[in-house]
Structure 1
Amino acid sequence: MYLKKHEKNYAIISFFAQLICAQTPCSNGKAGIYPCKDYDLLSNVPVNILANTNGNPEGSDIWGWTDSTTGKEYAIAAMTNSTAFVDVTDPVNPIFLGRLDSNAGNNYWRDVKVYKDHAFIVADNVGAHGMQVFDLTKLRGLTSAQNFTADVIYNTDFLGSCHNIFINEDSGVAYLVGCKNFRGSRIFNGGPIFVDISDPKNPTKINHYANAGYSHDVQVVKYDGPDTEHKGKEIFIGSNETEVTILDVTDKNNVIKIAEIGYSQTVYTHQGWFTEDQRYFILGDEQDEQKIGMNSRTLVFDFEDLDNPKLSSTYFGPSAAIDHNGYVKGNLFYLANYNAGLRVLDITNISASTNSMTEVGYFDTHPENDATSFNGAWSVYPYFASGNLIINDIERGLFVIRKSGTLGLENQELNKSFSVFPNPASENTIIKSSNNQFVKSVQLYSLLGQKVREENNINSTEYVLNTKGLKKGIYLIKINNLRTSKLVIK
């Protein structure tokens, strides 16, 4: 159903009034107002665009979807009262496509994962919400905001709220954890509920497991790590409040506890992620900074022997900001560090007992401070093929960022033969020869390499390029098919 006319008009006006859409490079430690190191700001969509106006909406989880048919990239931003869908294919000019409202009012947390072109959404601390299933192919071809409805509401066992969801794409099974019934009472001790989602619009419960305690967050893999005894099995790693629990969930009717491991100064075992070789598990304790008084702490466990896991090393960040969700891609660990924003850690040396991780970049979405409080970056999604990263910030909404100097079309500075001014430009920019060399042709490309202007057979020493009507952002200008420079449209 489309937004009501006045709501739609307000959304469009508000969107363009508040969207930070021009790329802001990280220069001298800042991208605009945001502290940064080696990561540029591409765009920001604020909370009041993403969420509906009920209550006091905030940002929470985030995930991404790449359309296998079109190759377009979409951000799925979870809010306290809804889930927003944003086309970020052009990261400098994101398109807000609408939202799916909560089934049961506002809550503090909402989590989402994707499987077979469908989003699976759960919410915590709210009544009869269940699991929403939304067909993401509905986003294809959209250019304006809509209000969406879920395709399926899964609420077997009077499933009300769940803290989290994980999907093992190898098996087509969703793991719902930290769940409660309609009345708000914990079910199955907060342990995992196994749901077959191989047919996304027909989710079917397989079983549940209640003998390992409450799982706050989880990762499940088809195991291909160094422990040959468990190769090929479906292994569940639960961050279970006071310890990490390892389960063999290959047979959902015969779950086997493999091991559990704690660590010193445990406060709240929150969330973790495997390295890509499944040798190390990187874990965050969400409340140790606040309750004990230490800088942001990340623990690395050696899972070479799943039956005998060991603490391998501990990393302390540069501030006392609270660590939240973290994900591995290649040799980098992307950590949403609340008030300290996104921190990027190099884990090439992760096997070392000391200095196992090194901070190599950051983008601080909460410039006010790096205090030990629950503000700022909630989560990050680093898995787009484009290399763009998306962050969901509690107060400031969706950020799209990118590692500095990694544009698909690399810049080759103009030599002294031509000048381009003004730059930044608005309606026009002038290309002028400084040595009587003719400007023969001019092409202008978007950040994604799409040609947006082309003029040929110019044959003049000075040419005025019309840039009126172009979206704000960074473009690449090519002169005589040889020389390229950046052009900023403001």
Structure 2
Amino acid sequence: MRLKILVSIILLLFIIACSSDDASSDPNNPSGDTTCNNGFAGIYPCNNYDLLAHIPLNILAGNGARGNDSWGWTDPSTGKEYVLFCTDRATSFVDISNPINPIFLGSINTQTVDSPWRDVKVYNNYAFIVSEAENHGMQVFDLTRLRDVTNPPQSFTPDAHYSGFGSAHNIVINEVSGYAYAVGSNTFLGGPHFVNIQNPLSPIGEGGFSGYSHDAQVITYNGPDSDYSGREILIGSNENEIVLVDVTDKANPVQITTIGYSNIGYTHQGWFSSDLKYFIVGDELDEINYGNNTRTLVFDFSDLDNPTFHTEIIGNSPAIDHNGYVKNDIYYLANYTAGVKFYDISNIENNSVSTIGYFDTHPESNATDFNGAWNVYPYFESGNIIISDINRGLFIIRKSGT
């Protein structure tokens, strides 16, 4: 009798373990940790980067969901790392302090209706969420609430809401100044909408700059052009050009200059090199319009009044480039159907850029279409890298051997 009871208990524990909603829910990654061997991590093509875990979209947002943007937060008190994962219907939060066994903590539903575009950034332990959903505004969520989740997943509500704009394509935050910039909104002809978030629970609108911006980077400048030292500079990717604006005085933003380039399809998103000498830009439609392989453009921004074209990074497939970020000497590119590419840009001054790895979340093809990797977030100190994939959800990867 005792033996039967013991066997029953063991069987019950086994069933519970097998039914948990963590990385093991992915049939293509049953162990949670899949090293990159012979060019594959499970079914995913790879080079020099391992798969730690994968959480599919149906767990994060339900059946039929579509992924889009993502960001990360590290709790300054505990050192735990969290993923902020956007879908067409919600923003989900995942504890990746154990990256092989991530925990889906819960989500905040869209403020109004679903939308294929949702974006989130972080300032001072708060998440700021916008969407192209009508009348969505900006949701504000205290991320320290994630410390107290004991029975995940939970349904969260925002801690504050800003309604100075309705829809917005994207949000940019300068963590030095404490300002958020909603871009592609229904205000200022789609130009950056300035929001003071120094008190995150009481956002204050402080004007804007007219002219549609699809995405932007805003920094307190300390680069090679001493004329702008200490100024707050916005670099906008504005569909058919790059626009530089001094936004230090919110009541009187001043356009510095604009710059174009050949074969413009859609100037989508860009990011500074670590030394602020170069600005790396992705064009989202040139692969479709002109038939070229993935093309990423590099501009010399040593003189902000007179930026110049420097070089191009040409990929090995016709996949469309989407969001790209720089950490130290590596450029991380979410490359849609080609997954994420990793480029060494340490010798970019001499027009030398080399591929040092990739992880392909879309193994079906490298077709020129809008599927696969939407975003990559490389800024966790642990070296964990997150990928948000439109079709497959959240991937956590890390460089092999680290």
Q: TM-score surpassing 0.5?
A: yes
AA aligned opposite 1:132: Q
Structure 1 residue 349: Cα displacement: 1.2
* Structure 2 counterpart of 1:270: 268
Task: Give yes or no for contact 2:24–2:32 (8 Å, CA) kept in 1.
Answer: no
Deviation readout 1:278-303 (Å, 9 max, x if unpaired): 00000000010011100000000000
Matches within 5 A, 1:247-266: 247-266=245-264
Task: Give yes or no for contact 2:182–2:194 (8 Å, CA) kept in 1.
Answer: yes
Structure 1 residue 104: Cα displacement: 1.2
* Structure 2 counterpart of 1:189: 189
AA aligned opposite 2:401: G
Task: Give yes or no for contact 2:23–2:54 (8 Å, CA) kept in 1.
Answer: no
State the number of aligned residues. Answer: 381
TM superposition score normalised by structure 2? 0.93
AA aligned opposite 1:40: D
- Measured in 1, the distance between the counterparts of 2:344 and 2:329 equals 6
Structure 1 residue 16: Cα displacement: 6.5
Structure 1 residue 216: Cα displacement: 0.2
Task: Give yes or no for contact 1:52–1:81 (8 Å, CA) kept in 2.
Answer: no
Structure 1 residue 315: Cα displacement: 1.1
| Residue 368, structure 1, aligned to residue 364, structure 2 | yes
Q: Residue 347 of structure 2 aligns to a residue in which SS? A: coil
AA aligned opposite 1:377: A
- Measured in 2, the distance between the counterparts of 1:17 and 1:364 equals 19
| Residue 385, structure 1, aligned to residue 359, structure 2 | no
Structure 1 residue 207: Cα displacement: 1.1
Deviation readout 1:56-82 (Å, 9 max, x if unpaired): 311100100000011100000011100
Matches within 5 A, 1:130-149: 130-143=137-150, 144-149=152-157
Structure 1 residue 188: Cα displacement: 1.1
* Structure 1 counterpart of 2:6: none
* Structure 2 counterpart of 1:174: 180
- Measured in 1, the distance between the counterparts of 2:22 and 2:226 equals 53
* Structure 1 counterpart of 2:344: 346
Task: Give yes or no for contact 1:342–1:377 (8 Å, CA) kept in 2.
Answer: yes
* Structure 1 counterpart of 2:96: 88
* Structure 1 counterpart of 2:43: 33
More helix by share: 2
* Structure 2 counterpart of 1:209: 209
Task: Give yes or no for contact 2:23–2:55 (8 Å, CA) kept in 1.
Answer: no
**Which structure 2 segments of 5+ residues have no match?**
1-15
- Measured in 2, the distance between the counterparts of 1:141 and 1:207 equals 37
Structure 1 residue 45: Cα displacement: 0.4
Structure 1 residue 15: Cα displacement: 4.7
Structure 1 residue 52: Cα displacement: 3.8
1:105 to 1:13, Cα distance in 2 relative to 1, 3 A: farther
Q: Quick one: which of 94, 107, 117 aligns to 2:115?
A: 107
Q: Residue 351 of structure 1 aligns to a residue in which SS? A: helix
- Measured in 1, the distance between the counterparts of 2:22 and 2:327 equals 32
Q: Quick one: which of 24, 33, 40 aligns to 1:23?
A: 33
Specify the structure having the higher radius of gyration (Cα): 1
- Measured in 2, the distance between the counterparts of 1:83 and 1:270 equals 23
- Measured in 1, the distance between the counterparts of 2:147 and 2:387 equals 23
Structure 1 segments, 4+ long, off by >6 Å, are none
RMSD value over aligned CA atoms? 1.3
Structure 1 residue 404: Cα displacement: 0.2
Task: Give yes or no for contact 2:70–2:377 (8 Å, CA) kept in 1.
Answer: yes
Task: Give yes or no for contact 1:313–1:352 (8 Å, CA) kept in 2.
Answer: no
AA aligned opposite 1:27: N
Q: Residue 365 of structure 1 aligns to a residue in which SS? A: coil
Q: Quick one: which of 317, 320, 324 aligns to 2:318?
A: 320
* Structure 2 counterpart of 1:241: 239
Structure 1 residue 351: Cα displacement: 1.0
Task: Give yes or no for contact 1:52–1:82 (8 Å, CA) kept in 2.
Answer: no
Deviation readout 1:135-184 (Å, 9 max, x if unpaired): 1011004242100011111102xx2110000000110000011002xxxx
- Measured in 2, the distance between the counterparts of 1:15 and 1:366 equals 21
- Measured in 2, the distance between the counterparts of 1:268 and 1:52 equals 32
**Which structure 1 segments of 5+ residues have no match?**
1-8, 181-186, 407-490
TM superposition score normalised by structure 1? 0.76
AA aligned opposite 1:374: F
Structure 1 residue 347: Cα displacement: 0.2
Q: Residue 247 of structure 1 aligns to a residue in which SS? A: strand
Structure 1 residue 273: Cα displacement: 0.2
- Measured in 2, the distance between the counterparts of 1:82 and 1:368 equals 27
